[in-house]
Amino acid sequence: QRSCSIIDIGGQDTKFIQVNARGQVDKFKMNRKCAAGTGSFLEEIAFRLDVTPEEFTELAKKASHEVKINSYCTVFAISEIIGMIKNGAILPNIIIGIYNSIILRSIELSLVEDHLVITGGLPAMHPTIVNLFKERYPDSDSPEHSQFLAAYGCVLLNK
């Protein structure tokens, strides 16, 4: 067994969990009260851009580079993105910036020191996010159906 860091990105929150080699939780942190950097953040931006969240992954494949999103707040990020589009930035490059913004919000919670496991609904629905995590942390993975891992863990604990 080895220790690992878990980043779980869901619809309303992001969690960082540090698990030691004995399987015990050493550290648990959760994002602030707002939903920036979560699935609802992505859904709100998609709605404003008239793009489905499912289309994000396909559009991201067409990106040539990242257009960095500086705003933390969803409302300010949307305004920033609309301004970028008006200034000629293309949507695929903006989407890579949105994905990287989500990653930055999640790794701000705590330092990843070892193997990283990426879980939650957002990575399950947006594999590009997992690939971008892997670029930063080569020793990382995201199990299939990662959106159900927390529920699966509860079942195992209550057997």
Q: What is the pLDDT of residues 39-90, one digit of tens each?
A: 888 999 999 999 988 899 999 999 999 999 998 888 899 999 999 999 999 9
pLDDT digits (tens, 9 = 90+) for 98-137: 999 999 989 999 989 899 999 999 999 999 999 999 999 9
pLDDT for res 148: 93
Ordered structural domains, the chain, with CATH: 4-58+104-157 (3.30.420.40)
* Phi/psi-derived region of residue 2, left when phi > 0, alpha when psi is between -120 and 50, beta in every other case: beta
* pLDDT tens by residue, 12-26: 999 999 999 998 999
Residue 61 tokens, joined: 């494949």
pLDDT at 60: 94
Strand partners, 15: 8, 30
Beta bridge partners of 4: 19, 115
pLDDT at 36 over 80: no
CA-to-CA distance for 105 and 36, rounded, in angstroms?
8
The predicted model scores a pTM of 0.91
Please give the single-letter amino acid code of residue 59. L
- Looking at residue 71, its pLDDT comes to 86
* Confidence (pLDDT) at 34: 77
